[in-house]
Amino acid sequence: MTYAEKVVQWLRERLARDPPLSEPRQLNLALRVLALWRAAMIVESFVRHHGRQVLQGPFAGMAYVEGATEGALLPRLIGSYESELHPHLLDMVASGLEAVIDVGCAEGYYAVGLARLAPTCRVYAFDSDPKAREACGRMAALNGVAERVEVGSELRPEDLERLAGPRRLVFVDIEGAEDELLRPDLAPALAHSHLIVEAHEVYRPGVADRLTERFAPTHHVERVTLGPKAADLPAWLKASNHLDQLLAVWEWRLGPTPWLIMRPRLPG
C-alpha cells in the first residue's frame, strides 16, 4: 500500500468515528492529512520527471533514498528545504570546515549534502532512530561519500567535547532535546565551533532564548526565522494549480522553529 493509499484509508476510518469532523480541531487534522496525501502524489510526479535527486540549491544533484524519515520529502527534492540556511551553510563551508557533527541526521539530507559540498570534510551523523541511521548510510553510499560519513546513535553532551572544536560545524535538529545536549559547561570545545541549531519552540517554549543566553559569551548569535518560499519550480509544476505549488514547498511545520546561527567569537 502506498503512502497516499494509507492516507485515504485513514481518512475513511476517521470519518466513520466520533467526534465528528465538524469540530474545528478535527477539521484541522483532516485538512493536514489531506495535504500530506496530496503532497505524496506530487512526489510521485516529481520522481517520474526527475528521478530521486535534489533539483537545485547547494545540494543539487544529490541522489535520494525512497523517502524522508522525518518531515517533508518534496521540498528536499526541489531544493527549497530550509533555504534560509543556504547562505550560512555556504559561508561556513567556504571558511574551511574540517568536520560536521550532524545531530538528528534523519536520512542524511545535511550529512550527505555537506559531505558532497565539502569534499575534504568528515561528517559524524547521529540519530536515535535505527531506520534513519540505515537510510543515512544508504544515501551516503548512493552519493559516493560513505567513507567520510560515520553514522552513530545517541550523543551525550560529553561526546561533543571530543568532536567539537575549531573549523567544525555542530548542526542540531533534535525536536527540543537541544536544550539538554548543548551544554558548554560539559563541552567547552563548543566555544570554538560553528553551530546551527533548530530551536523547537513548539515543544520547548523559550528554548531559543535560553540557548542564545547560554552561547552569547562565546558566539555571535543570529536568529533566523523560516518563512514562505519562493522556489524556482520546474515547468511541469509551474503549470499546475497554485495549491500544488504551495504544497510542493510546504515543510510540514506545526509551529515556530527558528534557527540559531552561532559563529565563535574566538578565532579558530
Q: Are residues 90 and 178 in the same domain?
A: yes
Give pLDDT tens digits for 137-176: 999 999 999 999 999 998 999 999 999 999 999 999 998 8
Please provide the average confidence, as pLDDT, over all residues in the chain. Answer: 91
pTM: 0.90
Contact between 43 and 73 under an 8 Å Cβ cutoff? The reply is yes
Q: Are residues 20 and 130 in the same domain?
A: no
- Whether residue 56 is contained in a domain is answered as no
Of 194, 257, 187, whose CA–CA distance to 221 is shortest?
A: 194
- The DSSP H or E segment spanning 259 is strand 259-264
Alpha helices in the chain (DSSP H): 3-15, 24-50, 74-78, 86-94, 109-117, 130-142, 157-163, 178-181, 207-215, 235-238, 242-248
Distance of CA 179 to the CA centre of its chain: 18
Residue 203, SS3 per DSSP: coil
- Whether residue 59 is contained in a domain is answered as no
For residue 243, what are the domain limits? Answer: 74-264
Alpha-carbon distance 150 to 228, whole Å? Answer: 34
Alpha-carbon distance 123 to 136, whole Å? Answer: 11
Q: Are residues 161 and 40 in the same domain?
A: no
Distance of CA 125 to the CA centre of its chain: 13
pLDDT recorded at residue 227: 81
238 by Cβ neighbours in 10 Å (0-12 / 13-18 / 19+) ranks as exposed
- Any idea what the CATH number is for the domain that residue 213 is in? 3.40.50.150
Contact between 8 and 33 under an 8 Å Cβ cutoff? The reply is no
Contact between 184 and 218 under an 8 Å Cβ cutoff? The reply is yes
Q: Are residues 86 and 202 in the same domain?
A: yes
Q: Are residues 107 and 38 in the same domain?
A: no
Give pLDDT tens digits for 69-87: 888 999 999 999 999 999 9
Q: Are residues 89 and 18 in the same domain?
A: no
Residues paired with residue 152 on neighbouring β-strands, in sequence order: 126
Q: Are residues 78 and 211 in the same domain?
A: yes
- Whether residue 58 is contained in a domain is answered as no
pLDDT recorded at residue 254: 79
Quickly state the pLDDT bin for 53 (edges 50, 70, 90): very high
Q: Are residues 78 and 44 in the same domain?
A: no
Alpha-carbon distance 233 to 155, whole Å? Answer: 37
- Whether residue 8 is contained in a domain is answered as yes
Quickly state the pLDDT bin for 9 (edges 50, 70, 90): confident
Q: Are residues 234 and 131 in the same domain?
A: yes
- Whether residue 198 is contained in a domain is answered as yes
- Whether residue 66 is contained in a domain is answered as no
Bond prior to 75 in cis (omega within 30° of 0): no
Cell of 164: 567539537
> How many domains are there within the chain?
2
Give pLDDT tens digits for 191-201: 999 999 999 99
For 182-206, what is the mean pLDDT?
A: 95
Amino acid in the structure at residue 198: E
| Contacts of 119 by beta carbon, 8 Å cutoff, 6+ apart | none
Contact between 127 and 155 under an 8 Å Cβ cutoff? The reply is no
Q: Are residues 12 and 141 in the same domain?
A: no
- Whether residue 95 is contained in a domain is answered as yes
Q: Are residues 163 and 248 in the same domain?
A: yes
- Whether residue 68 is contained in a domain is answered as no
Of 190, 183, 212, whose CA–CA distance to 199 is shortest?
A: 212
Q: Are residues 153 and 115 in the same domain?
A: yes
| Contacts of 232 by beta carbon, 8 Å cutoff, 6+ apart | 56
